[in-house]
Amino acid sequence: MSEHKIRNMEEFAALSGLSRPTVSKYFNDPSSVRPTTRQRIEEALERYDFRPNIFAINQNRSLTKNVGIVVPYLADPFFAEIARIIELRCIAAGFSPILYSSHGDRTLENEILEGLTALKPAGVFLAPLGRLSDRSAIERFCRDVPTVLFDSNIEGMGEAFVGSDNFSFVQQTVEYLCRTGSPPCFFEMRTPANPNANKRRNAYLRIMEEAGLEPHVIKVEGEGWGFEEIGRQGAHDVIASGGLKTETILCSNDRLAIGFLAACYERGLRVGRGEGCALRVASHDDHPFSRFTCPALTTAAHEYEAVADRCMETLFSLIESGGRFAQRDETLIPARLILRASA
């Protein structure tokens, strides 16, 4: 690297002994110039450390190499983990991922989408807030930007959806629980933020019905993203009031289960499938921490990698199709049951 800073491509081209259009061509596709030319540019690049001005590059372009990733709440380790994998995949594919969290806020989600539109991204992965989302705003956004929804489906929006097969999640846990002990009740929030929760409850009801078993759904109060605390408080309430009709509890998601287990511990209730255990608790998601709860949580796992890979595949073919699919593409990825000590 040498002394003074290079101001623009003109200057850099001169220093490489080439013309600006050639250098410009190189930056858009290094293989589009003669190998010797390419080498000259790359040598100069070593010496002078020049990068084309991003704003100027994109100014006159209808599409960029930007890819937006929007999740509803990044401080939820589930979303952090899935976003992490998608982000790495984007980088590997030569895109510039830009990560946003709606922080559980409808207004913020709208603002993110507006700002994202302005960035002219090649595509966007959007995990919407769900119940709180402004459907018309999302619809408008999807008209302007090639969008792949993930995690949380909103019927008809975006060109594709990649998510988990909630029925498969619940089927596996319920089947396992029934096979190894008493049938479970279903523990969830009364007003879940996310359509997955509704799908899971409905799956539970249907599976129990088909098995000729009586379903029990326990709905606990609470708003916001503090699921663990909602689960903990709800567990205390339902246990104290004798509302627990079964000794097996299937939580809608791991974060609620983490709270449930905390409450059990606080009450001295032993959870697990062994001798002397009062309750069995299972759940869904394979939250990054579910391995470390006490006891470790039996759960139906998302195939994080598979979801991320499928997201990328979908976006690639979407981009190749010019940003539109003839028909909305839906992928549901089944769960993988993970047996641990809690049930």
Partner DNA sequence: CAAAAATCTTTACGCGCGTTAAGGTCTTGC
Partner DNA sequence: GCAAGACCTTAACGCGCGTAAAGATTTTTG
Q: What is the DSSP string of 63-94?
A: --SEEEEEES-TTSHHHHHHHHHHHHHHHHTT
Least Cβ distance, residue 325 to DNA (angstroms): 24
- Could you tell me which stretch among 11-19, 134-142, 264-272, 332-340 binds DNA (CB under 7 A)? 11-19
- Tell me: does residue 259 bind a copy of itself (CB under 8 A): yes
- Could you tell me which stretch among 54-62, 91-99, 225-233, 331-339 binds DNA (CB under 7 A)? 54-62
- Tell me: does residue 56 bind a copy of itself (CB under 8 A): yes
Near a copy of itself in 260-319, by CB under 8 A? 261-262, 265-266, 288-289, 291-296
- Tell me: does residue 252 bind DNA (CB under 7 A): no
Closest CA to 116 of 170, 164, 67, 50: 67
Answer with the entry of DNA, a copy of itself, none that 292 interacts with (C-beta below 5 to 8 A by kind): a copy of itself
Among positions 35, 55, 210, 327, the unique one binding a copy of itself when judged by CB under 8 A:
55
What is the distance between the alpha carbons of residues 136 and 156, in angstroms, rounded to a whole number? 12
- The contacts of residue 156 (CB under 8 Å, 6+ apart) are 328
Number of chain positions touching DNA (CB under 7 A):
26
- Tell me: does residue 28 bind a copy of itself (CB under 8 A): no
Q: What is the DSSP string of 224-252?
A: SS-HHHHHHHHHHHHHHTT---SSEEEES
Whichever of 77 and 323 has its CB closer to a copy of itself, that residue is 77
Is 115 in a helix, a strand, or coil? Answer: helix
Among positions 2, 10, 114, 143, the unique one binding DNA when judged by CB under 7 A:
10
What is the distance between the alpha carbons of residues 115 and 217, in angstroms, rounded to a whole number? 41
- Tell me: does residue 92 bind a copy of itself (CB under 8 A): no
Whichever of 21 and 274 has its CB closer to DNA, that residue is 21
**8 A C-beta contact, residue 208 and residue 245:** no
Least Cβ distance, residue 34 to DNA (angstroms): 4
Least Cβ distance, residue 323 to a copy of itself (angstroms): 16
Whichever of 107 and 317 has its CB closer to a copy of itself, that residue is 107
Among positions 3, 4, 5, 36, the unique one binding DNA when judged by CB under 7 A:
36
**8 A C-beta contact, residue 12 and residue 44:** yes
Least Cβ distance, residue 63 to DNA (angstroms): 10
Least Cβ distance, residue 289 to a copy of itself (angstroms): 6
Is 342 in a helix, a strand, or coil? Answer: coil
**In residues, how long is the chain?**
343
What is the distance between the alpha carbons of residues 81 and 102, in angstroms, rounded to a whole number? 16
Q: Return the number of other C-beta atoms located less than 10 Å from residue 260's C-beta.
A: 31
What is the distance between the alpha carbons of residues 25 and 22, in angstroms, rounded to a whole number? 5
Whichever of 184 and 259 has its CB closer to a copy of itself, that residue is 259
Compute the half-sphere exposure of residue 270: CA atoms within 13 Å on the CB side of its CA: 7
What is the distance between the alpha carbons of residues 25 and 7, in angstroms, rounded to a whole number? 18
Number of chain positions touching a copy of itself (CB under 8 A):
48
Chain contacts with DNA (rule: CB under 7 A): 7-10, 17-22, 24-25, 27-28, 32-34, 36-37, 52-53, 56-57, 59-61
